[in-house]
Structure 1
Amino acid sequence: MALPAATAGLGLRRALMGALQDAPPGAFDFLECAPENWIGVGGRLGDQFAALASRHPITSHGLSLSLGGPAPLDGDFVDRVGAFLDRHAIAQYSEHLSYCSDDGQLYDLMPIPFTDAAVRHVSDRIRRVQDRLGRRIAIENVSYYAAPHRALDETDFVNAVLDAADCDLLLDVNNVYVNAINHGYDARAFLAAMPTARVTQYHIAGHYDEADDLKVDTHGAPVKDDVWALLDHAYTLHGVRPTLLERDFNFPAFDVLLAEVERIREIQHRHV
């Protein structure tokens, strides 16, 4: 079952398992996990995950599908993801518009060249994944620090992939902010160029200020005020959708994370 539009979620991280289990009802509306971090996990951790999944809606955001990669798609892995989604009644599955493997795992999200050939390549792979899963997926606009072979603007590239693949968009607002600073474009113009009908989710996160003109997407800090303002503007343009707070390390007190989740709700309520 799809999540209601005005919902605010938190990333399910192993370091937060105890706090998530003890959280009071209503502290968050949903949790998001990376399926490859939980497929095949048994024992105490597996039981804890199953307990959370039985109590809270779960969304899934993948790390290893490597949609833009040169190596063949791993059909067995796609099947395992599908079984995981079905087992835990996970309605929304997303992946990154990037690649992370060739001969082996690169352990990073690499930028796809903004070319017509890359549009054809990645959209074909997205379609094959959707056909194999029997469901639509969403792709996330990613942060990147180099733009090899840029024949298209990023907005044109993202839109071309969405159209050719006929898939949804997970709009990462922090990534838009980071890329706009690092590559010198207008973040609000980028948001305006995204197709409202395909936006199904938002992500928001903190980043590291390396310099005035260099921001690093870390998910290890509080969300900046400028990014909160950009989320507010995204809601104005595209409407409220389920929105996830991503935090991967440097975890503060759990109440501090819940306060950021509550801030998402406050911004949503201004638009609903």
Structure 2
Amino acid sequence: MRNFSVDGAGFGLRRSMMGENLETGAVDFLEVAPENWIGVGGRYGRWFREYTERFPFLLHGLSLSIGAPEPLDMELVGAIKKFIQQHNIRGYSEHLSYCSDHGHLYDLLPIPFTQEAVMYVSERIRMVQDALGERIAMENVSYYAAPGQEMSELAFLTAVLQEADCDLLLDVNNIYVNSINHRYDPLEFLSALPTERIRYAHIAGHYDEAEDLKVDTHGAAVIDPVWELLERAYEIHGVVPTLLERDFNIPPIATLLEEVGRIKTIQASQQVEENYALNRR
């Protein structure tokens, strides 16, 4: 039995939701980007403190830029560590990508899938883990080009997880998007991931640019093939805490909670199947 720092289903908390009456029990946990909240005071700071006292929280970073050529921003890492302590945060994750090169690039860019990059990125992940005093989770990201590719996305991801000895934030929508854009079998990819390293999962909507080009936007409802892939993820790896992401075109809270409720329904169904299988042994 794996121990997770949070349980059930949650969603990403955004400032535009301030003032919403989110009842305890409606969601099991919440997630924010630390860069959007570190140092925030006033009514937003009070509102955030109220929520961190009522709900378990996770952090999902935006600007660590783990694959960038420039030195790590250890000042940011220190601020994140303090923020984790201040708000009793249950865990920190980041993107397996980079977003800076002597200045912020405002996009998540792909790290070359090479052995040299595996070693470089893994060393930087270990530095962050040592500074924080805890393991972090790296997210499998969507990407639209693979410069200098010497290995597959799957081989690169699993090599980094092993070499850095870190956890995985499993983004189900990114697997779906990448499987269409780069023409691979999403179930083969999903099945090959190391179960023991999965800390939690993300699910989100995307934009259909064309039949063979999907863009990860977090700006739409989750589509049925992605829901089905989440079900298969649970079948393969067991039920893991799962978070709904929505970054723009944010609907009313009630609509978001319907999608969170669908996550809970899928989780409960899979747990029933797991319990039935255990009882038959």
* TM-score with structure 2 setting the length: 0.94
Q: Distance in 2 between matches of 1:199 and 1:24?
A: 28
In structure 2, the residue matched to 1:119 is 118
Give the alignment of 1:28-177 within 5 angstroms: 28-177=27-176
Following superposition, the deviation at residue 225 of structure 1 comes to 0.3
* Cα contact 2:33–2:62 (8 A) shared by 1: yes
SS at match of 1:18: coil
* Cα contact 1:2–1:91 (8 A) shared by 2: no
| Alignment RMSD (CA, Å) | 1.0
Give CA-to-partner distance per residue, 1:50-99, whole Å, 9 cap, x none.
11001111000000100001000111110000000111111211000000
Q: Distance in 2 between matches of 1:243 and 1:92?
A: 14
In structure 2, the residue matched to 1:16 is 17
Q: Distance in 2 between matches of 1:103 and 1:263?
A: 42
* Cα contact 2:142–2:178 (8 A) shared by 1: yes
Following superposition, the deviation at residue 18 of structure 1 comes to 1.9
Is 1:236 aligned with 2:219? no
Amino acid at match of 1:68: G
Following superposition, the deviation at residue 4 of structure 1 comes to 4.5
Runs of 4+ in 1 over 3 A off after TM superposition: 1-5
Give CA-to-partner distance per residue, 1:211-235, whole Å, 9 cap, x none.
1100000000000000000000000
Amino acid at match of 2:12: G
Q: Distance in 1 between matches of 2:23 and 2:79?
A: 32
* Cα contact 1:2–1:92 (8 A) shared by 2: no
Amino acid at match of 1:120: M
In structure 1, the residue matched to 2:279 is none
* Greater displacement, 249-258 / 170-179: 249-258
Following superposition, the deviation at residue 270 of structure 1 comes to 1.1
Following superposition, the deviation at residue 253 of structure 1 comes to 2.0
Amino acid at match of 2:155: D
Q: Distance in 2 between matches of 1:241 and 1:90?
A: 18
Q: Distance in 2 between matches of 1:25 and 1:91?
A: 17
* Greater displacement, 174-183 / 22-31: 22-31
Is there any run of 5+ residues in structure 1 with no aligned partner, and where?
none
SS at match of 1:87: helix
Q: Distance in 1 between matches of 2:23 and 2:90?
A: 24
* Cα contact 2:91–2:136 (8 A) shared by 1: yes
* Cα contact 1:34–1:60 (8 A) shared by 2: yes
SS at match of 1:241: coil
Is there any run of 5+ residues in structure 2 with no aligned partner, and where?
272-281
Q: Distance in 2 between matches of 1:43 and 1:67?
A: 31
**CA separation of 1:160/1:198 partners in 2, compared to 1, >3 Å: closer, same or farther?**
same
* Cα contact 2:6–2:90 (8 A) shared by 1: no
In structure 1, the residue matched to 2:191 is 192
Following superposition, the deviation at residue 13 of structure 1 comes to 0.4
Give CA-to-partner distance per residue, 1:122-152, whole Å, 9 cap, x none.
0000000000100000000000011111100
Give CA-to-partner distance per residue, 1:196-218, whole Å, 9 cap, x none.
00011000000001111000000
**CA separation of 1:64/1:4 partners in 2, compared to 1, >3 Å: closer, same or farther?**
closer
* Cα contact 1:99–1:111 (8 A) shared by 2: yes
Q: Distance in 1 between matches of 2:6 and 2:42?
A: 32
SS at match of 2:18: helix
In structure 1, the residue matched to 2:206 is 207
Amino acid at match of 2:5: L
In structure 1, the residue matched to 2:277 is none
In structure 1, the residue matched to 2:5 is 3
Following superposition, the deviation at residue 25 of structure 1 comes to 2.6
Q: Distance in 2 between matches of 1:162 and 1:4?
A: 21
Report the number of matched residues. 269
Amino acid at match of 2:263: I
In structure 1, the residue matched to 2:263 is 264
Following superposition, the deviation at residue 2 of structure 1 comes to 4.6
